[in-house]
Amino acid sequence: MFTISQEQRQFKTYILTDDATQARLEVVPERGGIVTQWQVKGHDLLYMDAERFANPEVSIRGGIPILFPICGNLPDNTYTYNGKSYTLKQHGFARELSWTVAEQNTEEGSIALELESSDRTRAVYPFDFHIRFTYQLKENALEIHQTYTNLSSEAMPFSTGLHPYFPVSDKSQLTFDIPATEYLDQLTQTTHPFPGNFDFEQDEIDVAFRDVSRQSASAADASRKIRMAIDYDLIYSTVVFWTVKGKDYYCLEPWTAPRNAFNTGENLIQLEAGSSLRTLVCLRVSFE
């Protein structure tokens, strides 16, 4: 049985629960439409930096931030469209804006949020759009259904992705199944073969697996006996792994295009005027 409740904390929080599977999902629309908590059978499956979350002036580190209309950053945070330069910050603006609640469904166990273009978005991204995200609990899974609609009179270029933060206490206990044989180090811009694991003695790891060969990637945490799998549609070409030494999180992120696609055009979506794109990402946990 699904229930949806609201709590007025610093930000209004919507809480979706499933008694049958002991699952719980918390969503904060006004803080970028972000999922802040996901639990299954009492296990916290997302990391959250509560101090950063409480400060709306800084980016959130935790939960599942939404990346749109770019993934990663641009050189000097700048791109050119039709001869005009625009400034767009890392990962775009969707994670910073207030979303609205469009639907609460206790039959299907879902909550839907929407974001529309505005004067603020048009100043950095000259297109009209409508985005709908539906978060749905299904047994040990969280499905994230997305619809992107171009309301402009011309094709709308964009990339999109998710930036989930997963908790970890001992990174040496992590093992990975990522469908690629090499990765691009986004800090040094060098390509390396992927041996199946990472050197966690580095201060920061920020790597992109491009042109993935399968629509699923996973990480297993032996210390918690948890495996987290991320399934994504064909439109997602890139999986990013990111972590920082001394921080109790890692990120495994599905992106539709690599960093700087707005300038290079690589795997950049061109959504025709009046058209919609529907896509799905599913996070699935298993207990080993």
- Per residue in 62-117, pLDDT (tens digit) is 999 999 999 999 999 999 999 999 999 999 999 999 999 999 999 999 999 999 99
51 sits in which H/E element: helix 50-53
CA angle 143/147/151 to nearest 5° reads 165
What's the mean per-residue pLDDT of the chain?
Answer: 96
The number of residues making up the chain comes to 288
Q: How far apart are CA 213 and CA 237, in angstroms?
A: 9
Burial of 181 (0-12, 13-18, 19+ CB in 10 A): exposed
- Say if residues 278 and 134 touch (Cβ distance below 8 Å): no
**pTM score > 0.85 for this model?**
yes
Does residue 76 sit in helix, strand or coil?
helix
Per-residue confidence (pLDDT) for residue 1, from 0 to 100? 84
What is the pLDDT, as a whole number, of residue 256?
98
- The sign of the CA dihedral 159, 163, 7, 55 is negative
- d(CA 187, CA 158) in angstroms, rounded, equals 23
Q: How far apart are the first and last CA of the chain?
A: 26
Helix (H, G, I), strand (E, B) or coil at 111: strand
Q: What is the pLDDT of residues 144-179, one digit of tens each?
A: 999 999 999 999 999 999 999 999 999 999 999 999
Please give the domain boundaries of the chain with CATH numbers for all domains: 2-287 (2.70.98.10)
